[in-house]
Amino acid sequence: MIKNQVNNLKNEAVGEILEAKDEKTLEEIRTRFLGRSGKINELTKEIPKFSSEEKEEIGKLINETKKTIESLLSETKTKLNSKKEKEEWFDVTLPGEKVPLGSLHLITKTINEISDIFARIGFKRARYPEVEWDWYAFEGLNFPENHPARDEWETFFVDNLYSKKYGRGLLTPHTSSGQLREMEATKPPIRMLNIAKCYRRQSDISHSPMFYQFEGLVVDKGINITHLKGTLDYFFKQFFGPKREARIRPFHFQFTEPSFEVDVSCSECLGTGKLKNGEVCRVCKEGWLEIGGAGMVHPNVLKNGGIDPEEFTGFAFGWGVERVLMMKYGIGDIRLLFEGDLRFLKQF
């Protein structure tokens, strides 16, 4: 009779445990069946009434029942917990975690912008080796052997890299090395835009050992300074704004003749040097800001590139990508562009 009662209690407890939906219910079942004054203990009190043989049998049955209920309770608790975790993981009502989105670096964006501006007037984007020969960077560009730019202080020469034909190996200090390479690769008409990394032994607020230049080269029949000036004006209006203009001043480069230093009219005073209230412009002081070099391709360079200077003429310009973007966005220190500080980069 008592054995039936024990088995019934076991079935009752198992049934309730399987139905339980949360931990609280399981705890309540535990107390009701296994607690000090729970149903099982109530039955235990009956044991003394039985013979010693029966006592042993009933005691064993009660212990097994307790163990069964206990282990089913803990198994169910574990299942409920993992189900709860899974449900929480898929809880679509929780606010989502924002995945940080990457973006292009300001220099890359500027390179893309410059490429697009020149692509609209037919310039083809080119890229030539960063590890270059002296011939393409200096000798073939009309630099005499003792020119200071060849000095170790300006140019990184590569140890043990030497060609009988092309001279020493070096990290190209300017994109002008692409001029001869382009002339070798393409016959006129040429409209090249070479944007590449350049290297010089320089480091300060406006100079970096590695920086980018963009170089334009146009070679065709009848190319003259007005084409150069028109191209510079076009670029400045597109890049800096419709009111900006270019100014060219005489200068000297080995590979262009005549050569110019190119200025852009100041964003504040638009080339006048004076503000509306008559005060001297604080940004530029005299109306113009220096951008970089340009000129008509030297006949010797055309010859070195296999082009007849009697038949063709050309112009070239080469400026720092960082320089033009620093002017555009008012950035005062070139090093900010290479430090990878997201607090700075996220502003653009």
Q: Which residues form the interface with ligand FA5 (CB under 6 A)?
A: 174, 176, 200, 202, 207-208, 211, 213, 215, 253, 256, 292-295, 316-320, 322-323, 334
Q: What whole-number distance in Å separates Cα of residue 274 and Cα of residue 288?
A: 11
Rounded to a whole number of angstroms, the minimum distance from the CB of residue 82 to ligand FA5 is 59
Rounded to a whole number of angstroms, the minimum distance from the CB of residue 292 to ligand FA5 is 4
Pairing relationship of beta strands 256-265 and 210-220 according to DSSP bridges: unpaired
Q: Are 318 and 175 in contact (CB under 8 A)?
A: yes
Choice between 76 and 179, CB closer to ligand FA5 = 179
Choice between 128 and 319, CB closer to ligand FA5 = 319
Q: Are 65 and 9 in contact (CB under 8 A)?
A: yes
Q: Write the single-letter amino acid at 187.
A: K
Rounded to a whole number of angstroms, the minimum distance from the CB of residue 314 to ligand FA5 is 10
For residue 315, give both structure tokens.
Answer: 């112009």
Choice between 142 and 176, CB closer to ligand FA5 = 176
Choice between 12 and 257, CB closer to ligand FA5 = 257
Residue 310, SS3 per DSSP: coil
Choice between 33 and 211, CB closer to ligand FA5 = 211
Burial class (CB in 10 A: 0-12, 13-18, 19+), 80: middle
Q: What whole-number distance in Å separates Cα of residue 40 and Cα of residue 55?
A: 15
Classify residue 203 as left (phi > 0), alpha (psi -120 to 50) or beta.
beta
Rounded to a whole number of angstroms, the minimum distance from the CB of residue 255 to ligand FA5 is 6
Choice between 38 and 320, CB closer to ligand FA5 = 320
- The length of the chain is 348
Rounded to a whole number of angstroms, the minimum distance from the CB of residue 176 to ligand FA5 is 4
Rounded to a whole number of angstroms, the minimum distance from the CB of residue 294 to ligand FA5 is 5
Pairing relationship of beta strands 190-199 and 167-171 according to DSSP bridges: unpaired
